[in-house]
Amino acid sequence: MSSKIKNIRHFEIHLGKVVDNDPKKKESKVMCDQIRSIDKRKLKEKGGKLTKEQMEEIETMLKRFLVLEEFNYE
């Protein structure tokens, strides 16, 4: 996630303010092309909660970006 939302590319998702109307929080975007793993111990605080709709949109974008929906793993 990033709070730098001036430019949102086709593989990024604009989330708006993620935390419950906290005026200190900035609008955010998810960058589906920049997947990283982060140790939970390095996070100082929660960034907020996403809605079910936002999570579904992110999941769809990740599937497209990683070309997962073309494969049948069964």
11-70: per-residue pLDDT in tens?
Answer: 555 565 555 555 566 677 777 677 778 888 887 777 677 788 888 888 888 887 777 666
**What is the predicted pLDDT for the residue at 45?**
73
pTM for this prediction: 0.56
Kindly write down the DSSP assignment for every residue of 34-60, as one continuous string. Answer: ------GGG--S------HHHHHHHHH
Distance CA 31, CA 44 (A): 21
Contact 58, 13 (CB under 8 A): yes
Give residue 42's pLDDT. Answer: 82
From the number of C-beta atoms within 10 Å of its C-beta (0-12, 13-18, 19+), residue 49 rates as exposed
The pLDDT, as a whole number, for residue 25 is: 66
| Residue 27, helix vs strand vs coil | strand
